[in-house]
């Protein structure tokens, strides 16, 4: 099943997949040609999907050849496209994409001639589009500090004078941006796993560091307490065995948010690498998770109790509830596919947006993990949820089965389970091969036991009841497949009641057709929203 699903996604990754064997130059030239034909076609510029097609062309360059000089150009042009799209759409998320792509130009390609241009563009977006003067001041001062001789310096100085008296403030997205790609040499000894890069997300009470590796490895982890003798801060470390470190990590990586100081990476003995995170005083707890395909190690760090349990401080007060809605899949990951080439990623995004408007009408604040057809990694989804400090997390999916007569609605919460059916499904949603799941199972069972299971089960039960009741009005003959426990990575590490809804079977002709209609999407969304509201209004049993 998992293989079928990957093949099905080929439809939407035609740019990417044809670029696999291609050279950076030809991939870039192809993207440019599509850009110019698009630029001269005002009709096409009215539609988001045409923008996305051009954007994808440039993404093929920057993701497949991240070290190549053309990747900087591709990222910069992509940022320009998001800015242009914002001009049409006025959607804040488009502007945020533009800001983050400019940021990546500067982070990944600091020596490129476009790096200071990218910072300049960021300052102008903060200044003119967002009216955020402290952030604009930060960007121009950063530009002048790092590229004082560059061709943007003169303009930056003029803006700095304009903003004199404004206290610079580091933009939030700077802290959540990916850390630089490492410019390392290729691996030396065969058989060794190689550390490739780090990424990071944080807010005041939560910080997540993700270590990306080019293959699987064994890990051990531990904590070292503050030592006044060595004047070293308390730190948590992860040892990556049979792993080596390419050049590019000699200097500590600065995180410097509220919980973490620096990441230090160094060889530890002959064939192991130690990654150590300096903990600040606010830190109270941490945990380490392992994800596969691609293999990465996540370190979650949590702050003091007051900041940690944001749902408790908000409950019952006049401050509204906050919910994270997670439309599954996206971008090159299409999810399951069904009748008339209907793709799970498209359907669940539409349902997610409808849930958002339902809940917002009820005064509930909603954070979407994605608001367009982009790929969001599993750890990023949970990081978004934890960073938002939300009161509930709902992942929305459409189900699939090789037997087209199989249909129905089911809802999951996170748990370890021996249920073979649930394992098959978990493999499909987790992008993990089924054979590998058993080991992952064992490794994660201890962590899963620490999840807030009773509250998640209660949330899942309420969602399922509403879905079956409301959706069955249109979806005659559907089956209530019940509430189940399973091991979904997307739910793993989420610090709030969380559930995953399998709305209907996209592989069933009747349910697949229904899923494509606005009316049924609306019904599903209403049921999910009602399930969330019921959850907030009924007291917890424990
Ligand atoms: Zn799915």
Dihedral in degrees, nearest 10, Cα atoms 460, 462, 468, 469? -170
pLDDT band, residue 429 (cuts 50/70/90): low
Predicted pLDDT of residue 452: 62
Centre of ligand 1 from the C-alpha of residue 490, in Å: 10
Centre of ligand 1 from the C-alpha of residue 397, in Å: 4
Four-way CATH pick for 181-303: 2.10.70.10, 2.60.40.3500, 3.40.630.30, 3.30.70.580: 2.60.40.3500
Centre of ligand 1 from the C-alpha of residue 398, in Å: 6
Predicted pLDDT of residue 307: 38
Predicted pLDDT of residue 227: 62
For residue 84, what are the contacts with CB-CB under 8 A and spacing of at least 6? 45, 51
CATH fold of the domain at 319-537: Aminopeptidase (3.40.630)
Peptide bond into 294 cis (omega under 30): yes
Note the maximum CA span of the chain. Answer: 72
Centre of ligand 1 from the C-alpha of residue 329, in Å: 6
Centre of ligand 1 from the C-alpha of residue 483, in Å: 16
* Residues 183-208: tens digit of each pLDDT: 233 334 456 788 888 888 877 777 88
Centre of ligand 1 from the C-alpha of residue 429, in Å: 5
Predicted pLDDT of residue 41: 82
Predicted pLDDT of residue 479: 94
Q: Please say whether the dihedral angle defined by the alpha carbons of residues 465, 469, 474 and 477, taken in this order, is positive or negative.
A: positive
Centre of ligand 1 from the C-alpha of residue 29, in Å: 34
User: Is residue 164 scored above 80 in pLDDT?
Assistant: yes
Q: Give the domain ranges of the chain.
A: 22-162, 181-303, 319-537
Centre of ligand 1 from the C-alpha of residue 431, in Å: 10
User: Is residue 12 scored above 80 in pLDDT?
Assistant: no
Instruction: Say what percent of the chain tops pLDDT 90.
Output: 33
Centre of ligand 1 from the C-alpha of residue 65, in Å: 29
Which DSSP string do the residues of 64-105 spell out, in sequence order?
HSTTSHHHHHHHHHHHHHHHHHHHHH--HHHHHHHHHHHHHH
How many H helices and E strands in the chain?
19, 16
pLDDT band, residue 449 (cuts 50/70/90): very low
Predicted pLDDT of residue 516: 95
Centre of ligand 1 from the C-alpha of residue 452, in Å: 23
Q: Which of 86-100, 148-162, 307-321, 465-479 has the lowest mean pLDDT?
A: 307-321
Centre of ligand 1 from the C-alpha of residue 199, in Å: 25
Predicted pLDDT of residue 539: 66
Centre of ligand 1 from the C-alpha of residue 442, in Å: 23
Distance in angstroms (rounded) separating the CA atoms of residues 508 and 176: 40
Mean pLDDT of 77-86: 91
Mean pLDDT taken over the chain: 79
Centre of ligand 1 from the C-alpha of residue 222, in Å: 35
Structure tokens given for 128? 């003119």
* Residues 40-53: tens digit of each pLDDT: 887 787 777 788 88
Centre of ligand 1 from the C-alpha of residue 197, in Å: 27
Q: Is 469 left (phi over 0), alpha (psi -120 to 50) or beta?
A: alpha
Centre of ligand 1 from the C-alpha of residue 210, in Å: 23
- Any idea how long the chain is? 542
Centre of ligand 1 from the C-alpha of residue 425, in Å: 9
Predicted pLDDT of residue 513: 95
Predicted pLDDT of residue 463: 97
Centre of ligand 1 from the C-alpha of residue 479, in Å: 19
Centre of ligand 1 from the C-alpha of residue 434, in Å: 16
Centre of ligand 1 from the C-alpha of residue 343, in Å: 10
pLDDT band, residue 7 (cuts 50/70/90): very low
Which CATH number describes the domain made up of 22-162?
A: 1.25.40.10
Cβ-based neighbour number of residue 473 at 10 Å: 10
Higher pLDDT, 93 or 276: 276
Predicted pLDDT of residue 80: 93
Centre of ligand 1 from the C-alpha of residue 75, in Å: 29
Centre of ligand 1 from the C-alpha of residue 144, in Å: 46
Q: Using CB atoms within 10 Å of the CB of residue 158, give its burial: 0 to 12 exposed, 13 to 18 middle, 19+ buried.
A: exposed
Which DSSP string do the residues of 191-206 spell out, in sequence order?
T-EEEEEEEEEE-SSE
* Residues 246-269: tens digit of each pLDDT: 888 888 888 888 888 899 998 888
Separation of CA 332 from chain center:
14
pTM above 0.85, yes or no: no
Predicted pLDDT of residue 156: 94
User: Is residue 519 scored above 90 in pLDDT?
Assistant: yes
pLDDT band, residue 540 (cuts 50/70/90): low
Predicted pLDDT of residue 426: 54
């Amino acid at each position: 099943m998992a293989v079928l699903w990957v093949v099905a996604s080929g439809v939407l990754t035609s740019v990417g997949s044809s670029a696999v064997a291609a050279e950076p130059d030809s991939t870039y030239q192809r993207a440019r040609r599509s850009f110019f034909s698009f630029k001269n076609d005002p009709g096409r510029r009215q539609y988001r999907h045409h923008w996305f097609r051009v954007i994808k062309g440039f993404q093929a360059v920057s993701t497949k050849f991240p070290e190549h000089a053309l990747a900087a150009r591709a990222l910069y042009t992509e940022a320009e496209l998001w800015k242009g799209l914002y001009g049409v759409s006025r959607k804040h998320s488009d502007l945020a994409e533009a800001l983050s792509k400019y940021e990546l130009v500067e982070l990944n390609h600091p020596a490129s001639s476009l790096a200071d241009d990218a910072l300049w563009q960021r300052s102008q977006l903060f200044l003119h589009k967002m009216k955020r003067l402290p952030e604009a001041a930060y960007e121009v001062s950063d530009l002048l500090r790092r590229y004082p001789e560059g061709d943007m310096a003169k303009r930056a100085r003029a803006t700095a004078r304009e903003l004199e008296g404004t206290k610079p403030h580091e933009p939030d997205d700077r802290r959540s941006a990916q850390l630089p790609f490492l410019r390392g040499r290729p691996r030396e000894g065969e058989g060794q796993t190689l550390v490739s890069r780090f990424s990071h997300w944080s807010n005041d009470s939560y910080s997540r560091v993700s270590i990306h590796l080019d293959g699987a490895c064994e890990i051990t982890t531990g904590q070292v307490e503050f030592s006044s003798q060595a004047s070293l801060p308390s730190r948590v470390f992860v040892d990556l065995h049979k792993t080596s470190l390419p050049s590019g990590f000699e200097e500590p990586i600065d995180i410097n948010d509220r919980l973490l100081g620096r990441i230090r990476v160094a060889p530890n003995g002959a064939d192991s690498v130690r990654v150590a995170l300096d903990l600040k005083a606010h830190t109270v707890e941490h945990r380490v998770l392992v994800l596969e395909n691609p293999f990465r190690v996540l370190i979650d760090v949590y702050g003091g109790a007051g900041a940690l349990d944001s749902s408790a401080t908000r409950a019952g007060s006049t401050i509204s509830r906050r919910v994270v809605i997670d439309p599954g899949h996206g971008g090159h990951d299409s999810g399951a596919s069904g009748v008339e080439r209907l793709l799970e990623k498209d359907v669940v995004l539409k349902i997610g947006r409808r849930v958002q408007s339902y809940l917002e009408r009820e005064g509930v604040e909603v954070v979407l993990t994605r608001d367009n057809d982009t790929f969001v990694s599993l750890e990023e989804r949970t990081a978004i949820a934890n960073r938002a400090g939300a009161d509930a997390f709902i992942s929305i999916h459409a189900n699939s089965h090789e037997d087209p007569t199989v249909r129905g609605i089911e809802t999951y919460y996170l748990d370890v389970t021996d249920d073979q059916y649930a394992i098959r499904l978990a493999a499909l949603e987790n992008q993990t091969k089924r054979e590998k799941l058993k080991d992952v199972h064992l490794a994660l069972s201890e962590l899963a036991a620490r999840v807030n299971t009773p509250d998640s089960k209660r949330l899942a039960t309420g969602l399922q009841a509403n879905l079956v009741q409301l959706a069955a009005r249109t979806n005659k003959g559907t089956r209530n497949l019940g509430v189940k426990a399973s091991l979904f990575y997307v739910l793993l590490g989420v610090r709030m009641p969380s559930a995953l809804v399998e709305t209907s079977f996209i592989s069933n002709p009747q349910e697949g057709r229904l899923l494509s209609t606005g009316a049924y999407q609306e019904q599903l969304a209403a049921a999910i929203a009602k399930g969330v509201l019921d959850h907030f209004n009924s007291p917890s049993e424990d």
